[in-house]
Amino acid sequence: MRERTRRKDRTEVTFTLPAEIPPGPVSAVGDFNDRQPGVHTLTPRKDGKRAVTVELPSKSSHAFRHLAAGDYRFNGDNEGDLDGPNGRLHT
């Protein structure tokens, strides 16, 4: 799931997942961080989910996936547009 907050010159996108599905650390990886795990790691929130917020330029498009332990790559539920195996995010 994604939450969006539009700002004057950027969009803040928050990626959210359940606390333990999948188990272990999960990162949001995409062209916005050279697909590097650990740069945008989801962390626990008070609502029982885990999340990470990424700031992206307004009016841009980005490919992304989630990366979990064991090189498990996946798209979250209701991620919207797909670009091959990747989700496609439009700001």
pLDDT digits (tens, 9 = 90+) for 16-64: 999 888 999 999 999 999 999 999 999 999 999 999 999 999 899 998 9
Q: Which domain holds residue 85?
A: 2-90
Query: How many structural domains is the chain composed of?
Result: 1
Which residue in the block uniquely carries the two structure tokens 């272990």? 24
Q: How far apart, in Å, are the Cα atoms of 61 and each of 15, 48, 69? A: 15, 29, 26
Name the pairing type of β-strands 49-57 and 43-44.
antiparallel
Mean pLDDT lowest among 3-7, 28-32, 81-85:
81-85
pLDDT at 77 over 60: no
Q: Residue 79 maps to which CATH number?
A: 2.60.40.10
Q: What's the pTM? A: 0.83
Who wins on pLDDT, 80 or 26?
26
Residue type, 8: K
Which residue in the block uniquely carries the two structure tokens 């999948």? 22
Q: Which of 77, 84, 63, 62 is nearest to 22 (CA)?
A: 77
Who wins on pLDDT, 66 or 88?
66
